Amino acid sequence: MADAHPAGLAHHFESFEQQREASFFGMWVFLITEIMFFGGLFAAYVVYRSAHEEAFVLGSSLLDIRWGAFNTVVLIGSSLTMALSVWAARTSKRKLLVVFLLLTVLLGSIFLGVKAIEYSHKFHEHLVPGPSFAMDHFPADEAPYVQMFFNLYFMMTGLHALHMVIGIGLLLSLVVMAARGAFTPENHNLVEGVGLYWHFVDIVWIFLFPLLYLLGRSA
Amino acid sequence: MGDQMTTPAERKRLNYLNADYGVKSWLLATDHKRIALLYLLSITVFFFLGGLMAVGIRLELATPAGDLVQPDTYNRLFTMHGILMIFFFLIPSIPAVFGNFLIPLMIGAKDLAFPKINLASWYVYSIGGLFTLWSLIQGGVDTGWTFYTPFSTTYSNTYVIATALGIFIVGFSSIMTGLNFIVTIHRMRAPGLTWFRLPLFIWAHYATSLIQILGTPVLAITILLVGAERLFHIGIFDPAYGGDPVLFQHLFWFYSHPAVYIMILPSMGVISEIIAAFARKRIFGYKVVAFASVTIAVLGFLVWGHHMFVSSQSPFTGVVFSFLSMLVAIPSAVKVFNWTATLFEGSVSLDTPMLYALGFIGLFTIGGLTGIMLANLGIDIHVHDTYFVVAHFHYVMVGGAIMGYLGGLHYWWPKITGRLYPVFWSKLAALVVFVGFNLTFFPQFLLGYLGMPRRYYSYPEDFQVLNVMSSAGATVLGVGYLIPMIYLVWSMRYGKRAGANPWGAVGLEWETPSPPPTFNFDETPTVDHEAYEYTSPTETRVA
Amino acid sequence: MNLWPKRFPLFPETASRLAQDVDQLYFFALLVTAVFSLLIAALIFYFIIRFRRRSEDEVGQPERAGLWLEITWSVIPLVILLFMFGWGSKVFFDIRKPPRGAIEYYVTGKQWMWKFQHPEGPREINELHVPLGQDIKLIMTSEDVIHSFYVPALRAKMDVLPGRYTTFWFNAEKAGAYRLFCAEYCGAEHSYMRGSIIVMEPDDYEEWLATRGQTTAAAKTGADLFSAQTCDTCHRSDSAAQAPILHGLFGKEEQLADGSLVLVDENYLRESILNPAAKVVAGYNALMPTYQGRLSEEDLVGLILYIKSLGGPDSADASASNQATTQASSDREE
Ligand code: HEA
Ligand code: HEA
Ligand code: CUA
Ligand SMILES: [Cu+2]
């Protein structure tokens, strides 16, 4: 029986449609777990922010809003190129697919580069949590909570960056496969799956940016 | 395991065990049935390791003085006992073994939706296990399985990070399993197999998977935060940075309370299958029981605060959590009543799996009702963190979940291996386990109400008599667990051959030969009837 | 005193009326547990005998309609549960909510001992002497990890946390020595973090206090600290220009700079000293320095006791006499 299966259809599926639905559905379920994963951090952030509002505003004023805004634009752009990649795969435009995927990789790397610049600034300013944290830059009774802000800042953006790195790895392997012509209009589930993942990572940033850089700042 | 199956009579029919030989064919297997066996082997190792720690605990507690081991050693014993038993045995147990083996069979599919992810989950599990074993060999960890901060982040100087990393990793195997099951149950059912024709085992696993995918990531991030705090002084829970140690408890129990339903729901699913098969009757109130599983899974996410009644959370929060905990008991109660009602006007036979199932009902009822006492604010303020709690959770986990696991093992063993095990020994073992269990853990209820705190390696002298009873019971229980080990292994070579359907049960898994062929069914079955349709004359036993 | 008698009890001793309340609730829950467990067991035994399989290919009878059954056996447990929930909550609030006028003791837990501070001054370790028949309130904190203050004879416990105060209260009705356990796992010697609560006839208690010799009341120590830590350079009793007057503060609703009101309790005082900027009093700037890291838990307790001894909103006499400590704080409770 298994021999009767067309190429690209795994042995345990009855049809391409079933295979496609399964992989889609699986991707969504996976993204739900990701939401819960980041959710724990967001919960901690909300709890502590409401307890130490001033310190958090102080902390957030030390982030460079220009870099943050620039990165937001970069990521939105990368979501666009990702969506275009999926479209190219669906309409079997192999060259365009490779181009759009590479563009997405490029934008993702720019984001990470900017993040690296920001991190290194924080290192120089001793704003990285730990023994060398610049406690004496702040009023003594706010300093611990400013540090808490940076605890959360590094955890949240760090985990987000880690997701970006994984995403870029996935994109690069897609590039290789696409160049070999591995995707057909019936079977490009991988592109769509990675696309969903990429959009998800962008959306996380869309939440992180206002939460970390903007909130309470105008005051 | 495979090469015992090569008698000429058997060779004419290829099955998943003899289709392929060699280590590689197992270690790279994507067949859900083989992966189930890999899991079976690994969790058994961890069960006996955890059991060994329990032996250490009970030996130390046989006398009031702390004389056998150092306090540090004792603290590592119960911590590793809890961690191994929960994360490496009970949580994967039924889902990863029977769920893996049976879900595709029961829904008439060739495999799970993502066979490679399934295999990966076993590797992830093993890596997590190796990490934990490594930290155990290094000296283990002494924080209790609950890792409460600030003790775990600042004060303990044991191998917290290695162990926590082990749990972090094993969590992903749990997520992968849950994800696979959900997609499989949604997308891979055989034609005609509608939701309300599914066996209750499937419903139970569906509910379990929901918890796995929603809860486990929260545990993952919580562990990550503990690790970051220990390693990099990113003090999210440290009061010195304005952190709140109680926030850790909230995050931990947000996963770990639902996790207790990861442990019990699959077991309940097994019980439904066994009761139906040995009463030859459809489970009473099928739909109610099916929905009860999902209700438990969902409500289970709203009650975590009942572990924290005296943690300094506000009394009003406590009241809310108490109330919700009471509500979550209703679907459990309904299940117990429905199983009992199924026996009414059934055709009841007391084969070994049925003995375990009936044991489950009795012990789970006691465990659950003592859970109600704990959920009661006025009582919990006294018995929180005493042996009353220890007794409660061993009743539900050992008396409940493991009874279900052993029941399932005896029910599907003929399907898995194609062999029958000796009836006398199996019934004797069930009896020994039941008696040993009650002797071990019933005295602990009394100890708890008397006020003996848990995690004590030395205790006032007047608690000794009850403790000795408990230790004696543990010995009996240990023997009870050893007996099945012996005859089940024995049966793989010498057991009588089981036919496709030794119990005369209905269900797709019984329609394919034992052991099943690699792709489960020669032809994808079509389903046109409800689950447990015992009204038509059943096939006679093929044994 | 024979504190750990050799015997074989099956039920704990009882030292207070609330403990008896807990017992009653427990007996009721036990009854429910027993009834339902036995009911299920009896039904199972009856069914497996009555409906045992009589021939190899016999099958069960089809299910009879059972909606009303499902409803019955959902509603009956629900009613029982709601009843037990209500009762349990009542007992819980009784135990958690200290009555007005309780005598206040301070408890500090640390790995692995209990330290007690009497309002009259004496300090004790692992033993707490208290008078019989009095409402006694413990204000507890930890120097390191989480501990839990547990007295089985009182059927009550409360976690003791670093960085905040939690409370525990009781009124012992029987003289005697009662076990005190640490119930929250706290490290190597957790099982030895035990002690005893010694309940004495009031006269004996007075006598006991006397034998403790010359001690300075905790509030007095606090008064010394108040000047030693130079608090009094800003907080003066005659002028509110620099910093708020602390007389009559405890127990009142303080207006904060952001417009909100907070109740001045121990946790507020603690925060005001350790982290003054968190809640700034209306009309003042956040000038006060933090004392984080400069005061031990005991120092803090002393300062708080001192500030409490300065009277509350409805105590006419706000002078800081030692005697007033207990008196004044009792008037303010809740
Ligand atoms: C398989 C695991 C499992 C299961 C299923 C349960 C089920 C329940 N548990 Fe348990 N529990 C644990 C594992 C489990 N628990 C563990 C591991 C701990 C300790 C963790 C630690 O601190 O280390 C714990 C601790 C724990 C506590 C905290 C105690 C403390 O630390 O002070 C509480 C408090 O509410 C509680 C409550 C409950 C309740 C209400 C249920 C309910 O779901 C039970 C519902 C079932 C029934 C009620 C029985 C069936 C009913 C009838 C037959 C009929 C009649 C009914 C009525 C009249 C009500 N559990
Ligand atoms: C699935 C979960 C699971 C299982 C199966 C068990 C099984 C057992 N547990 Fe455990 N237990 C926990 C989960 C579990 N436990 C958890 C979560 C805790 C809390 C930890 C914490 O506080 O952090 C705990 C804590 C705990 C304590 C409290 C320790 C303390 O607070 O100080 C005790 C004490 O008696 C105990 C005993 C036992 C015993 C006797 C068994 C028996 O059922 C074990 C029987 C098995 C064997 C005996 C091994 C197999 C047989 C042999 C190897 C043969 C040789 C042996 C003999 C002949 C004796 N357990
Ligand atoms: Cu202190 Cu346990
Ligand atoms: Cu719980």
pLDDT in tens, A99-129: 999 999 999 999 999 999 999 998 888 888 7
Give me the mean pLDDT over the B201-218 stretch.
96
Picking from C182, C211, C240, the residue at the C-terminal end of a domain is C211
Picking from C163, C190, C211, the residue at the C-terminal end of a domain is C211
Instruction: Supply the pLDDT for residue C146.
Output: 95
Give me the mean pLDDT over the C212-236 stretch.
76
Closest residue on chain A to B522 (Cα): A1
Q: Which residues of B374-384 are buried (b: 16+ CB within 10 A; e: fewer)?
A: bbbbbbbbbbb
Q: Which residue has the higher pLDDT, C104 or A51?
A: C104
Per-residue confidence at C320, pLDDT binned at 50, 70, 90? Answer: very low
Rounded-to-integer distance, Cα A13 and Cα A24, Å: 14
Whether B292 has a pLDDT exceeding 70, the answer reads: yes
Measured CB to CB, residues of chain A less than 8 Å from chain C are 52, 54, 139-142, 144
Place of tokens 């604010």: B377
Choose among B301, B275, B286: nearest CA to B354.
B275
Give me the mean pLDDT over the B32-52 stretch.
95
Domain count, chain B: 1
Give me the mean pLDDT over the B495-510 stretch.
91
Whether C314 has a pLDDT exceeding 80, the answer reads: no
Whether B283 has a pLDDT exceeding 60, the answer reads: yes
Ligand 4 mean position, distance from CA B408 (Å): 25
Residues in the 5 Å CB sphere of ion ligand 4: B 257
**Edge-to-edge order in the sheet of strand C147-151:** C127-131, C195-200, C176-182, C147-151, C156-160
Choose among C137, A103, A80, A26: nearest CA to B175.
A26
C163 & C229 share domain: no
Residue nearest atom 17 in ligand 2 by C-alpha distance: B82
Decide: helix, strand or coil at residue C237: coil
C250-271 confidence digits (pLDDT tens) = 888 888 877 788 888 888 888 8
Please give the helix or strand (H or E) that residue C255 lies within, else none.
Answer: strand C253-255
Instruction: Supply the pLDDT for residue C303.
Output: 85
Give me the mean pLDDT over the B315-331 stretch.
94
What proportion of chain C, given as a percentage, has pLDDT over 70?
Answer: 89
Per-residue confidence at C331, pLDDT binned at 50, 70, 90? Answer: very low
User: What would the 3-class secondary structure string for B21-69 be?
Assistant: CCHHHHHCCCCHHHHHHHHHHHHHHHHHHHHHHHHHHHHHCCCCCCCCC
Q: Is residue B310 within 6 Å of ligand 2 at its C-beta?
A: no
Whether A69 has a pLDDT exceeding 60, the answer reads: yes
Q: Is residue B397 within 6 Å of ligand 2 at its C-beta?
A: yes
The answer to whether C29 contacts B144, with C-beta atoms less than 8 Å apart, is no
Task: Please name the residues in contact with C214: beta carbons below 8 A apart, sequence gap of 6 or more.
Answer: none
Of the listed ranges B510-514, C122-126, C257-261, the least confidently predicted one is: C257-261
> What are the chain B neighbours of A11 within 8 Å (beta carbons)?
110-111, 519
A26 in contact with chain B, both atoms CB, cutoff 8 A: yes
Instruction: Supply the pLDDT for residue A218.
Output: 56
Residue nearest atom 60 in ligand 1 by C-alpha distance: B371
The parent domain of residue B82 ranges over 3-511
Instruction: Supply the pLDDT for residue B1.
Output: 38
Whether C317 has a pLDDT exceeding 50, the answer reads: no
Task: Please name the residues in contact with A141: beta carbons below 8 A apart, sequence gap of 6 or more.
Answer: C274, C275, C276, C277, C278, C289, C290, C292
For the domain that residue C263 is a member of, what is the CATH number? 1.10.760.10
A125 in contact with chain B, both atoms CB, cutoff 8 A: no
Give the closest ligand to the alpha carbon of residue B441: 2
- Decide if A105 contacts A173 (C-beta within 8 A): no
Instruction: Supply the pLDDT for residue C77.
Output: 94
Task: Please name the residues in contact with B21: beta carbons below 8 A apart, sequence gap of 6 or more.
Answer: B2, B3
- Region of C230 (left: φ > 0; alpha: ψ -120 to 50; beta: rest) is left
Whether B6 has a pLDDT exceeding 80, the answer reads: no
Residues 448-477 of B with CB under 8 A from C: 449-451, 453-462, 465
- Decide if B82 contacts B135 (C-beta within 8 A): no
> What are the chain C neighbours of A52 within 8 Å (beta carbons)?
278
Rounded-to-integer distance, Cα B175 and Cα B172, Å: 5
Mean pLDDT score of chain B, rounded to an integer?
Answer: 91
For CA atoms B320, B326, B330, B336, give the dihedral sign: positive
Q: Hey, how many other C-beta atoms are within 10 angstroms of the C-beta on C62?
A: 11
For the domain that residue C154 is a member of, what is the CATH number? 2.60.40.420
Ligand 1 mean position, distance from CA B371 (Å): 3
End-to-end CA distance of chain B: 22
Give me the mean pLDDT over the B194-217 stretch.
95
Ligand 4 mean position, distance from CA B325 (Å): 8
Query: Phi then psi for A115, rounded to 5 degrees?
Result: -60, -40
- Decide if A56 contacts A48 (C-beta within 8 A): yes
Residues 130-149 of B with CB under 8 A from C: 142-144, 148
Q: Is residue B482 within 6 Å of ligand 2 at its C-beta?
A: yes
Please give the helix or strand (H or E) that residue C159 lies within, else none.
Answer: strand C156-160
- A3: closest CA of chain C, how far (Å): 41
What is the value of ipTM here, to two decimals? 0.89
B430-456 confidence digits (pLDDT tens) = 999 999 999 999 999 999 999 999 999
List subunits contacting chain A, requiring 3 or more Cβ pairs under 8 Å.
B, C
Whether B478 has a pLDDT exceeding 60, the answer reads: yes
Instruction: Supply the pLDDT for residue B12.
Output: 55
The answer to whether A21 contacts B519, with C-beta atoms less than 8 Å apart, is no
The answer to whether residue C92 is domain-embedded is: no
Whether C5 has a pLDDT exceeding 50, the answer reads: no
Count of CA atoms in the C-beta half-sphere (13 A) of B180 = 27
Cα pseudo-dihedral A113, A118, A121, A127, rounded to 10: -140
Whether C321 has a pLDDT exceeding 60, the answer reads: no
- Decide if B154 contacts C146 (C-beta within 8 A): no
Instruction: Supply the pLDDT for residue A54.
Output: 82
Per-residue confidence at C283, pLDDT binned at 50, 70, 90? Answer: confident
Give me the mean pLDDT over the C280-290 stretch.
81
Domain count, chain C: 2
Whether B537 has a pLDDT exceeding 80, the answer reads: no
- Decide if B449 contacts C30 (C-beta within 8 A): no
Going by their DSSP bridges, the two strands C253-255 and C261-263 should be labelled as antiparallel
Instruction: Supply the pLDDT for residue B68.
Output: 85
The answer to whether residue B534 is domain-embedded is: no
Instruction: Supply the pLDDT for residue B65.
Output: 87
Concatenated DSSP letters of C27-95: HHHHHHHHHHHHHHHHHHHHHHHHTB--STT--PPPPPP-HHHHHHHHHHHHHHHHHHHHHHHHHHHHH
Rounded-to-integer distance, Cα B480 and Cα B433, Å: 5
**A29: nearest CB among B183, B233, B240:** B183
For the domain that residue B385 is a member of, what is the CATH number? 1.20.210.10
Per-residue confidence at B241, pLDDT binned at 50, 70, 90? Answer: low
Whether C4 has a pLDDT exceeding 60, the answer reads: no
Rounded-to-integer distance, Cα A7 and Cα A184, Å: 11
Choose among B353, B366, B345: nearest CA to B413.
B353
- Decide if B336 contacts B361 (C-beta within 8 A): yes
Please give the helix or strand (H or E) that residue B335 lies within, else none.
Answer: helix B315-343
Mean pLDDT comparison of A185-199, B232-246, C222-236, highest-scoring range: A185-199
Per-domain residue ranges of chain A: 16-218
- Decide if C98 contacts C135 (C-beta within 8 A): yes
Instruction: Supply the pLDDT for residue B539.
Output: 45
Instruction: Supply the pLDDT for residue C333.
Output: 35
Please give the helix or strand (H or E) that residue B136 lies within, else none.
Answer: helix B115-138
Ordered alpha helix ranges (H), C194-276: 202-211, 218-228, 266-274
Of the listed ranges B164-168, C40-44, C275-279, the least confidently predicted one is: C275-279
The parent domain of residue C192 ranges over 103-211
> What are the chain B neighbours of A22 within 8 Å (beta carbons)?
113-114, 183-184, 187-188
Chain pair A-B, CB pairs under 8 angstroms? 117
Q: Which residue has the higher pLDDT, C231 or B41?
A: B41
Instruction: Supply the pLDDT for residue B343.
Output: 94
Of the listed ranges A47-61, B231-245, C119-133, C134-148, the least confidently predicted one is: B231-245
**C53: nearest CB among B72, B348, B459:** B348
- Decide if B360 contacts B404 (C-beta within 8 A): yes
Rounded-to-integer distance, Cα B91 and Cα B37, Å: 16
Counting atoms of ligand 1 from 1, which one is nearest the CA of C81? 59
**B182: nearest CB among A10, A29, A148:** A29
**C292: nearest CB among A52, A54, A141:** A141
The answer to whether residue B292 is domain-embedded is: yes
Choose among B63, B110, B111, B91: nearest CA to B470.
B63
What proportion of chain B, given as a percentage, has pLDDT over 90?
Answer: 77
Mean pLDDT score of chain C, rounded to an integer?
Answer: 84
The answer to whether C93 contacts B315, with C-beta atoms less than 8 Å apart, is yes
**C41: nearest CB among B334, B344, B362:** B362
Check if CATH label 3.40.50.300 holds for domain A16-218: no
Distance from chain centroid for Cα C90: 16
Q: Which residue has the higher pLDDT, C226 or B471?
A: B471
Helix axis angle for C297-309 and C324-332, nearest 10°, is 80
Give me the mean pLDDT over the A83-110 stretch.
91
Per-residue confidence at C323, pLDDT binned at 50, 70, 90? Answer: very low
Decide: helix, strand or coil at residue C129: strand
Whether B3 has a pLDDT exceeding 60, the answer reads: no
Query: Phi then psi for C116, rounded to 5 degrees?
Result: -120, 150
The answer to whether B234 contacts A34, with C-beta atoms less than 8 Å apart, is no
End-to-end CA distance of chain A: 69
Rounded-to-integer distance, Cα B476 and Cα B473, Å: 5
C164 & C223 share domain: no
Rounded-to-integer distance, Cα B226 and Cα B230, Å: 6
Q: Which residues of B201-235 are buried (b: 16+ CB within 10 A; e: fewer)?
A: bbbbbbbbbbbbbbbbbbbbbbbbbbbbbbeebbb
Please give the helix or strand (H or E) that residue C195 lies within, else none.
Answer: strand C195-200
